[in-house]
A = this chain, B = another copy of it.
Amino acid sequence: MPRRSSGRVTLQDIAERVGVSKVTVSRCLREPQRVSETVRLRIEEAIDVLDYIPNRQAGALSSGRSLSVALLVPSISNSVFSEVQRGVDEGLREAGYQVLMGHTGYSILEEERLIDTFLAYGVDGFVLSSTRHTDYAQRLLNRARLPVVETMELTDNPLDINVGLDQRVAGRAIGEALITAGYRRIGFCGARLDYRVQQRLAGWEDALKAAGLSTQRCQTTPRPSSYRLGGELLSAMLERWPDMDAVFCCNDDLAAGALFECQRRRLEVPGQLALAGFNGLDITDATWPTLTTVITPRRAIGEQAARLIVERLQGAPHAPSRHDMGFEIALRQST
């Protein structure tokens, strides 16, 4: 006895209605030009009438390709990654791939879990938003022999493709920009302290040390960043180092929060304190004063990641590569 079928319309239903075999219908969907015009038109009509939706699971199982790519980001609510996501999504969709998104909550263990999950779903490739992974995750990825793009930061040992920017150089650049602007008692405030933030901090130290300035004014916390936290960190810093004349905040959320705190304290920005952020989110260009920041090419990173992964999916050979997408310092009213 046949198992109860799902009730869904299948290729077979279309085939029967049209009076051809199901291979012909399948072919008509994938390579229409290989089917005679008359048959094609009748098949298309039947598909329309019956509201046929192909079963991708069956297709993927049979062909070994799922036409989907996993995109893992640390956080959904952090708008930094939504730009990357847009770039990836657009590029992959054009090429006929569906993007499946997961968020790791900045945890490499959760990333590992998601890699496992998406491998089980049969994705054809991965876009990751870090270069740091668990050993097991790396083993899974290597074994799967799928194209993998690591984004956001650069690494000397990419798993496969690496698209990002040098976070340390960018941190140094904003430090130097503050120094050039005449500031001398420059602080750093950082939250979350993931790898990228640590790199920015190192860059800030590079700049200050090269100029013979003190790097003591450094306030960090593992807590996730938020506007309010920006205010809290700034308050703590003002208390410890009342002489501070500028602060580089590790991201724009903290910088905006610090700015709001300055407004609350009626502290003039940049008159009494200069502020700089990192990423170039929309808000940096909307506040008053507008915020100096490092504009990171997040959209371009996503687009490039998509482009490269599509190349690989279309047969380009595996050859580790590294793509430095650069960054731009935006000097605004806050410095």
Closest residue of chain B to A71 (Cβ to Cβ) is B101
Query: Is A61 on the interface with B (CB-CB < 8 A)?
Result: yes
Query: Is A263 on the interface with B (CB-CB < 8 A)?
Result: yes
A23 to B125 alpha-carbon distance, docked (Å): 30
Q: Is the interface of A mostly helix, strand, loop or mixed?
A: helix
Closest residue of chain B to A143 (Cβ to Cβ) is B51
Query: Is A159 on the interface with B (CB-CB < 8 A)?
Result: no
A140 to B288 alpha-carbon distance, docked (Å): 49
A103-134 Cβ-contact flags toward B at 8 Å (1 or 0): 00000000000001101111000000000000
B283 touches A227 (CB 8 A): yes
Closest residue of chain B to A83 (Cβ to Cβ) is B77
Interface-centre pick from A53, A64, A83 (highest chain B CB count, 10 A): A53
Residues in B with CB closer than 8 Å to A77 are 79, 82-83, 86
Instruction: Pick the contact of A263: B68, B85, B116, B288 (CB < 8 A).
Output: B288
Residues in B with CB closer than 8 Å to A260 are 286-288
A282 to B60 alpha-carbon distance, docked (Å): 42
A227-248 Cβ-contact flags toward B at 8 Å (1 or 0): 1101100000000000000000
Instruction: Pick the contact of A53: B55, B61, B140, B145 (CB < 8 A).
Output: B140
B140 touches A286 (CB 8 A): no
B51 touches A140 (CB 8 A): yes
Interface-centre pick from A68, A101, A228 (highest chain B CB count, 10 A): A101
B285 touches A228 (CB 8 A): yes
State the number of copies, please: 2
Query: Is A139 on the interface with B (CB-CB < 8 A)?
Result: yes
Residues in B with CB closer than 8 Å to A228 are 282, 285-286
A174-215 Cβ-contact flags toward B at 8 Å (1 or 0): 000000000000000000000000000000000000000000
Residues in B with CB closer than 8 Å to A231 are 286
Residues in B with CB closer than 8 Å to A286 are 226-228, 230-231, 256-257, 260
Given the interface pairs A85-B76, A101-B101, the reply to whether A61 lies near B51 with Cβ below 8 Å is no
Interface pairs (6), CB distance under 8 Å: A7-B145, A56-B120, A57-B60, A57-B122, A76-B82, A256-B286
Measured CB to CB, the residues of A under 8 A from B are 6-7, 51, 53-58, 60-61, 64, 66, 68, 76-77, 79, 82-83, 85-86, 98, 100-101, 116-117, 119-122, 139-140, 143, 145, 226-228, 230-231, 256-257, 260-261, 263-264, 282-283, 285-288
**Besides the contacts A6-B64, A53-B119, A101-B101, what 8 more A-B pairs have beta carbons closer than 8 Å?**
A53-B116, A56-B121, A57-B57, A57-B122, A68-B121, A228-B286, A230-B286, A261-B288
